[in-house]
Structure 1
Amino acid sequence: MAELDRVKLLAARYRAATDRPYLASALYSLTVVPSSRVPTMAVDRHWRCYVSSAFVAETPVPELAGVWIHEVAHLLRDHHGRAERLPAADQSDRLRINVAQDCEINDDLLADGLALPDGRVEPRAFGLDAGGLFEEYLLHLPRSATCSDCGSGAHGTPGDWEIAGSGGPGVSPVEAEALRRHTAEAMRGHQRSRGTLPAGWRRWADQVLEPTVDWRRVLAGAVREAVAWAAGAVDYTYRRPSRRSAALRGVVLPSLRRPLPAVAIVVDTSGSMGEDELAEALGEVTGVLREVGAGGNRVTVLACDADVHAASRVTSAQQVTLAGGGGTDMRIGIEAALALPERPGVVIVLTDGYTPWPEEPSSARLIAALIGEDAPPPPAWVETVRVTDRR
């Protein structure tokens, strides 16, 4: 193997970091590993960059700078982590995954005016639009799609030319997350001062700094946890005598029971509520309650604006009648829920947040599902999930 021209290689990295200063910390975190077994450059998940000396010798510095940015983009965008979340059938074809990932990266790099070597992969080569994520591109690529192997830092499958394990120089997963956040913040600062950043990088930085959390998953977790908490209370019952009674002649001992909690759902039916979001949130809640066994006659739904209009036992969202449409005071609905013949252990309030709240917590677990991104928060003691229209 010819000796690696480190001066040229590092000059290209310096150029990349100078021209795109928001990437400097990430670029200088890469450890160079000379290798004759990679055709160009590649990275592993430990931020080691494997470099072919022949490729460096034949590639101009401006294009080498573009390849530096291309490789670090795989790591910043956590391509290996995202690849591991693909269906098992897709994970086996690492080079096809690599093609899709290169499409995601290169359209941004070319839009940013970077020089890349000939043979680069672009979405338009497959009749695809720019600006997509690699998971989207993967659905439309032919099975024959292939490219140069960018390493396990891209597709997640280690090559036989990679250093085994995390031993030696490299970046830990915790350090990698810190680098991603630092880079995203630097991009935000660059955008504020100069206003120039490719759309894909802007989207990536926004996701790192303000991650979109699936409200359905958060709401489901909150409901499950609250039901489990309420069901944790145990009581004694003589309906089923304790097995220990057999040891005591003439004495009947009660057994412990773990009752399934009653659940009340207070639905804000005031005029300011959006019907579609409300119906979707109600459907999610009733679905979760069925999963944890708190369905049937254990769930009561109360429609409320400034007064309680209806209270009914339901098994699905389709059975709910949403009456009302006036002002808003969820305190009345919560009080009505707590006054039901069977006091609920969990009260879930679906509202846009424009309502007064009780001044202090009760013995029941209270969850507020706030409809809309701008919904004002309830008191701190109320468990809160924001229901937005983000998909």
Structure 2
Amino acid sequence: MSAASPGPSAAPRPPLPRAPGPARSTRPPHDSPEGTLDTAKLFAARLQAARVRPYLATALFALQPVESRQVPTMAVDAYWRCYVSPGFVDRTSVERLAGVWVHEVSHLLRDHHGRSDRYARRHELSGAAERLRMNIAADCEINDDIFGDGLVAPEGAVRPASLGLQDGELMEDYLRQFRLGPHTAHLAWLECGSGADGLRRAWDLGPDGAHGLSAQERDAVRFRVAQGIVGHPGNAPRGWRRWAEGAFHPPQPWRELLGSAVRAAASAPGAGEDYVYGRPARRSAVVPGAVLPSLRRRPTRVVVVIDTSGSVSDAELGSALLEVAAISRALGGRRDLVGVLPCDAAAGRVRPLCGGAEGVELLGGGGTDLRAGFARALETRPRPDVVVLLTDGQTPWPSQRPQCRTVVGLFGRLHGRSSYDESDPEYVPDGPPPWARVVTIG
């Protein structure tokens, strides 16, 4: 999305936006007369919101209020403008207005407009009805845990339970679980603006209008809010802590790449195929007196070898367990087709994943030689079609290509660890062999 105005280029740190000046009205000339916006009440509500949610104060005071009589209540756009109805402010208490402030700024911090656009493109969705569904799903993501503890929920706030859904999920998860129908008819009034669902409204001032924030300023606000939440995690709900962690460590496509690599290896010619006599081959008719086996497809089996040597951190081992669960999902959720094998310099025993990744014991801590893990994986019966290695790469590799597809997930070194071997700082291990599909994790 293009920036509203170019951010400063000389300053090493982008400045936060200036305090908003007089609100600009978007009332059309033919609109009926109405009372002016009670800015004192509106700003008192914002101050109340900052007092009860201090970790959101930077974002709350960065939001630019714009008076508009076209907006039913309060709505935001992607450029951090908040369009405010004077009538709504008049009839709403300061306590409930504070809740609306927090709700609207949450849409912007969590990038609901960008995520809605990406979801719509990915699923080829269009129209106001689908955008309303995205607004509802975004509200469910926000409203499940932000109210209470001094913050009053706005009247009619949508919660997951009202749609028969569970708390604690993301907008994209909720979108897969409900459709518009009679049970959502009471939510047709919902209007949080283009900042919630990505669909531009008639009252939006657009990228070139006044009071908008540049892309650099928006990023600065998000970063400072995330920094405050991570620094004092006990003061924020679980949903905000999850968002802040993602803001510091943005999601990378490696999980999708790893899943696609496993699926590609599992569907490659020869994988999951074997000759069986349960059903004779069609060629048997031309060979009288002989029963020829037929080539049959069977479920693809995967063995995941996890590097548990001393050079692998606890965080990387935790990430490895997440990848095991992702690999299971890539195979359609068939945990019985996935085996897990911890390995340092010696290989353990291949254990089935039937009990879930959280029950896997990762024993090790010594040196590294994943060749032992390769050999043990190939000894498994039934023989695996795909071997996945999750490792930091500090290992010798097999000299010959195994008789199965191989995927290597390499832990990325993001914390300045430049030494591979404490006893020999100049040692650099060989990279994965060319016959392996390599995906960098993290």
TM-score range, shorter chain: 0.5 to 0.7
* CA positional deviation for 1:120: 1.9
Distance 1:124-1:147 versus aligned 2 partners, 3 A rule? farther
Residue 149 of structure 2 corresponds to residue 142 of structure 1 = no
CA distance in 1, matches of 2:161, 2:142: 13
Residue 32 of structure 2 corresponds to residue 2 of structure 1 = no
Determine if contact 1:41/1:52 at 8 Å carries over to the other structure.
Answer: yes
Q: Which residue of 1 aligns with 2:31?
A: none
Distance 1:269-1:9 versus aligned 2 partners, 3 A rule? closer
CA distance in 2, matches of 1:176, 1:60: 29
Q: Which residue of 2 aligns with 1:225?
A: none
1:6-155 pair list within 5 angstroms: 6-86=39-119, 87-89=123-125, 92-93=128-129, 94-138=131-175, 139-143=177-181, 145=184, 146-155=188-197
Determine if contact 2:194/2:201 at 8 Å carries over to the other structure.
Answer: yes
* CA positional deviation for 1:164: 2.9
What is the aligned-residue identity percentage? 41
Unaligned 5+ segments in structure 1 are 223-266, 285-302, 323-327, 341-346, 371-382
* CA positional deviation for 1:162: 1.2
Determine if contact 1:74/1:101 at 8 Å carries over to the other structure.
Answer: yes
* CA positional deviation for 1:9: 0.5
Deviation digits for residues 177-224 of structure 1, max 9, x if unmatched? Answer: 221121111112232xxx2321211211122123343434556999xx
Determine if contact 2:60/2:102 at 8 Å carries over to the other structure.
Answer: yes
* CA positional deviation for 1:175: 2.2
Deviation digits for residues 283-328 of structure 1, max 9, x if unmatched? Answer: 99xxxxxxxxxxxxxxxxxx96269969x9xxxx955699xxxxx9
Q: Which residue of 2 aligns with 1:249?
A: none
Greater mean deviation of Cα atoms: 128-137 or 4-13 = 128-137
1:185 to 217, 227, 237: 227
Distance 1:214-1:164 versus aligned 2 partners, 3 A rule? closer
Q: Which residue of 2 aligns with 1:305?
A: 371
Distance 1:65-1:23 versus aligned 2 partners, 3 A rule? same
Residue 217 of structure 2 corresponds to residue 167 of structure 1 = no
1:205 to 244, 257, 261: 244
Structure 1 counterpart of 2:157, which letter?
R
TM-score normalized by the length of structure 2: 0.54
CA distance in 1, matches of 2:106, 2:202: 22
* CA positional deviation for 1:136: 2.0
Structure 1 counterpart of 2:151, which letter?
L
Q: Which residue of 1 aligns with 2:18?
A: none
Equivalent position SS for 1:54:
helix
1:176 to 212, 218, 231: 218
* CA positional deviation for 1:100: 1.5
Distance 1:164-1:368 versus aligned 2 partners, 3 A rule? same
Q: Which residue of 1 aligns with 2:440?
A: 385
Distance 1:365-1:61 versus aligned 2 partners, 3 A rule? same
Determine if contact 1:83/1:155 at 8 Å carries over to the other structure.
Answer: yes
Aligned residues: 289
Determine if contact 2:410/2:440 at 8 Å carries over to the other structure.
Answer: no
CA distance in 2, matches of 1:367, 1:186: 44
Distance 1:112-1:101 versus aligned 2 partners, 3 A rule? farther
CA distance in 1, matches of 2:132, 2:125: 13
Distance 1:106-1:369 versus aligned 2 partners, 3 A rule? farther
Root-mean-square deviation (Å): 4.5
CA distance in 1, matches of 2:325, 2:99: 48
Structure 1 counterpart of 2:88, which letter?
F
Determine if contact 1:111/1:198 at 8 Å carries over to the other structure.
Answer: no
Equivalent position SS for 1:50:
strand
Determine if contact 2:394/2:429 at 8 Å carries over to the other structure.
Answer: no
Determine if contact 1:41/1:50 at 8 Å carries over to the other structure.
Answer: yes
* CA positional deviation for 1:37: 0.5
CA distance in 2, matches of 1:360, 1:280: 29
Distance 1:11-1:37 versus aligned 2 partners, 3 A rule? same
CA distance in 1, matches of 2:202, 2:128: 16
Determine if contact 1:96/1:143 at 8 Å carries over to the other structure.
Answer: no
Distance 1:78-1:318 versus aligned 2 partners, 3 A rule? same
CA distance in 2, matches of 1:271, 1:18: 47
Equivalent position SS for 2:66:
strand
Unaligned 5+ segments in structure 2 are 1-33, 262-303, 310-316, 332-368, 413-419
CA distance in 2, matches of 1:28, 1:39: 22
Distance 1:112-1:197 versus aligned 2 partners, 3 A rule? farther
Distance 1:216-1:366 versus aligned 2 partners, 3 A rule? farther
CA distance in 1, matches of 2:307, 2:210: 62
Determine if contact 1:40/1:51 at 8 Å carries over to the other structure.
Answer: yes
CA distance in 2, matches of 1:135, 1:90: 16
Distance 1:22-1:89 versus aligned 2 partners, 3 A rule? same
* CA positional deviation for 1:174: 2.8
